[in-house]
Amino acid sequence: MKPLEGVKVVDLTTFLAAPTTARVLGEWGADVIKVEAPKGDPGRTQGAVFGMPYEDEENLGFDMSNMNKRFITLNLKNKKGMGVMNKLLADADVFITNIRSKSLVKLGLDYETLRKKYPKLVWAQCLGYGEKGPEKDSAGFDVTCYMARGGVFGTTVNKGDAPMIPTNGYGDFQVSMCLASGISTALFNRTRTGQGDKVTVSLHHAAAFMLSTAVVSAQYGNKYPKSRLEVICPTNNVYRTKDDKLIAMCAPEYDRDFNKIMRLIGREDLVDHPDYSNCDHMNALHKNAEVVKVLDEAIGKFTRDEILKIFKGNDVPCEACYEPLDMYDDEQVWANGVMTKLDCPSGKRCIATAPVKFSSYTEPSYKVSSAQGTDTVEVMKELGYADGEIKEYLAEGAVGGKKALK
pLDDT tens, residue by residue, 196-230: 999 999 999 999 999 999 999 999 999 999 999 99
Q: What is the pLDDT of residue 104?
A: 98
Quote the distance between the C-alpha of residue 397 and its chain's center.
35
Active-site pick, 172, 197, 257, 375: 172
**Per-residue pLDDT at 132 exceeds 90:** yes
Angle CA(282)–CA(288)–CA(294) in degrees, nearest 5? Answer: 110
Average pLDDT over residues 24-32: 97
Residue 166, amino acid: P
Q: Please compute the mean of the pLDDT values over residues 129-151 and round it to a whole number.
A: 96
pLDDT of residue 144: 97
Band of pLDDT at residue 406, cut at 50, 70 and 90? confident
For residue 248, give the nearest of 158, 338, 308 by alpha carbon: 308
Contact 31, 41 (CB under 8 A): no
Portion of the chain with pLDDT greater than 70, in percent: 100
Q: Which residues contact 255 (CB under 8 A, 6 or more apart)?
A: 277, 278, 279
Where does the pLDDT of residue 48 fall: very low under 50, low under 70, confident under 90, or very high at 90 and above? Answer: confident
Active site residue 172: yes
Q: What is the mean pLDDT of residues 22-35?
A: 98
pLDDT at 376 over 90: yes
